[in-house]
Amino acid sequence: CDTDDDNDGVADISDICPASSTGEPVDAGTGCTLLQLCPCEGARGSSKPWRNHGKYVSCVAKSTKVFVNQGLITETEKGAIVSDAAESNCGK
């Protein structure tokens, strides 16, 4: 009886992203990676695309802040991730 099937440190009962990629940092509260929290196709849990590019970038910025606060990534990494999101075509 494995209580953490994807081995991300978040118990299956609390893990809203039960198939996190091995080795990727995950939010301790959700069990989700950044890509799972802010997929390019649209908001997590929705079948609709992002309303606009700014909504996507905002999701990435907020999620990376949580990851910094949890010690999962550095401020420098956060800046690079948000910059990449701003240059992407997600939400356009």
6-33 pLDDT tens trace: 888 888 888 888 888 778 899 988 888 9
- Distance CA(46)–CA(65), nearest Å, equals 22
Which of 38, 32, 72, 74 shows the shortest CA–CA distance to 57?
38
CA 21, distance to chain mean position in Å, is: 11
Is the per-residue pLDDT at 77 higher than 80?
yes
Is the per-residue pLDDT at 1 higher than 80?
no
- Asked if 82 and 49 touch (Cβ cutoff 8 Å), the reply is no
Which of 1, 68, 84, 57 shows the shortest CA–CA distance to 28?
68
Task: Name the token pair of 73.
Answer: 């990534």
* Mean pLDDT confidence for 21-50: 90
What is the rounded end-to-end Cα distance, in angstroms, of the chain? 44
More confident residue, 61 or 9: 61
This prediction has a pTM of 0.86
